Amino acid sequence: MRRRSGAILAAIGLGLAGCGGEAKTTDGAWQGEMKEVRMAVRGSEDDPMITRRLTAYKTYIGKATGLPVKLYESSDYNGTIQALSSGQVDIATMAGGGYANVDAQIGDLAQPILTVRQAEGDTGYYSGLLVMADSPYRSIQDLKGKTLGYVDFNSTSGYLYPRAVMREQGIDPDTFFGRSSFAGGHTQAVMALDNGQFDATIIQAGGGDPEHGFTTGAHYTMARRGVVELADFRIIWAAGPIPNSAVVVRTDRPQPFIDAVRGAMAALPYDDPEVWRDIGQPDGAAYTAVTREHYAPIIKLRTDDIAARRSGERR
């Protein structure tokens, strides 16, 4: 006990010494106000390794902000949305649909600050309609009356966006398919398709485009983990591009915190490319600053969808 107290006092002493010098760890008092950084992460993303790899990321953000970082894992989309909306966390990474939900709940109290720009300059990804490779389905029209799996009500690529595009193409997703239900996540959607629970499922697809094919998405990640065989699946329809996920912060946190965390995250691919890759970001990609305006189309889709449900126009 005495030894530990000594160590703690020594650490305090070092901290104080650091504050007085030219090269200080901290510049102001905002860290005293924040005390810690609370970040929401999805615990069941399609690559569970990512959560484990977040340790290095946590260390990086902790060093950059001079504060301990706590990761809050949520097993579903709504958990992350509610954690940010309620103020349980300060910052979260979420897809546009998730942010639209947060925006509907707390408006300006949350603000998207960064999104990923891919090497080629794009800032979007796609929804893919996935079927088993040995199935007879070649186009979305072949799925009339068949069972369809969505990812989650709060999923942008796995629910909100593809349904809007289907309507634009003259397909009412509520009546065209025989039955539809939520799988709970991209991984679960692929597993359910593989297990025969659905005839098709909607998933996220990226690292390419409909013309040239895709290289990222849940079934790619699962194949790399040895869970499924990539050759067992086919994408027969795609919608997009959809604005990439946003890093969203609570605006009632100190502005210096928002600036520092935005700066630290934006600098990551340049300062520590290994950690950048570790958290699943592609080489050559980088963060770019965004505002609510970037997600305005997704917010409108969400608002319209909710309004249609309330009016009974949609199921």
Cis-peptide into 241, omega within 30 deg: yes
- Residue from 71, 109, 223, 279 touching other proteins (CB under 8 A): that is 223
Q: Does 220 bind other proteins (CB under 8 A)?
A: yes
Selected from 108, 120, 134, 168, the binder of other proteins by CB under 8 A is: 120
CA distance 205 to 179: 23
C-alpha distances in Å from residue 261, one per residue of 18, 37, 106, 196, 223: 21, 9, 21, 44, 34
Query: Which of 236, 264, 296, 308 touches other proteins by CB under 8 A?
Result: 264
- Token code pair at residue 3: 């030894």
Nearer of residues 27 and 252 to other proteins, judged by Cβ:
27
Of 78 and 216, the one with the shorter C-beta distance to other proteins is 216
- x/- map, 21-60, other proteins, by CB under 8 A: -xxxxxxxx-xx----------------------------
Q: What is d(CA 158, CA 194) in angstroms, rounded to the nearest whole number?
A: 17
Task: Tell me: does residue 108 bind other proteins (CB under 8 A).
Answer: no
Based on the shown chain and the rule CB under 8 A, indicate whether residue 212 belongs to the binding site for other proteins: yes
Residue 210 and residue 242 in contact, taking contact as beta carbons nearer than 8 Å: no
Name the segment binding other proteins (CB under 8 A); options: 39-47, 82-90, 96-104, 256-264: 256-264
Place of tokens 């040995």: 134
Q: Mapped to the 3 state alphabet, what secondary structure does 240-305 carry? A: EEEECCEEEEECCCCHHHHHHHHHHHHHHHHHCHHHHHHCCCCCCCEEEECCHHHHHHHHHHHHHH
Out of 92, 160, 247, 290, point to the residue binding other proteins (CB under 8 A). 290
Residue recorded with tokens 């103020």: 87
Q: With respect to other proteins, which residue has the nearer C-beta, 174 or 272?
A: 272
Residue range at the interface with other proteins (CB under 8 A); choices 37-45, 159-167, 197-205, 289-297: 289-297
Q: How far apart are CA 128 and CA 130, in angstroms?
A: 6
Which one among 39, 45, 57, 65 touches other proteins, defined by CB under 8 A? 65
Q: How many residues make contact with other proteins (CB under 8 A)? A: 65
Out of 282, 297, 306, 314, which residue is the one contacting other proteins (CB under 8 A)?
Answer: 282
H helices of the chain, where? Answer: 2-20, 30-34, 49-65, 77-85, 96-106, 161-168, 173-176, 186-194, 218-224, 255-271, 273-278, 296-310
CA–CA distance, 257 with 251 (Å, rounded to integer): 10
Q: Could you give the CA distance from residue 47 to residue 281 in angstroms, rounded to a whole number?
A: 12
Q: How far is the CB of 170 from other proteins (least distance, A)?
A: 33
Residues at the contact surface with other proteins, assessed by CB under 8 A: 1, 4-5, 8-9, 11-12, 15-16, 19-20, 22-29, 31-32, 63-66, 113, 117-121, 207, 212, 215, 220, 223-226, 230, 255-256, 258-264, 266-267, 269-271, 273, 282-291
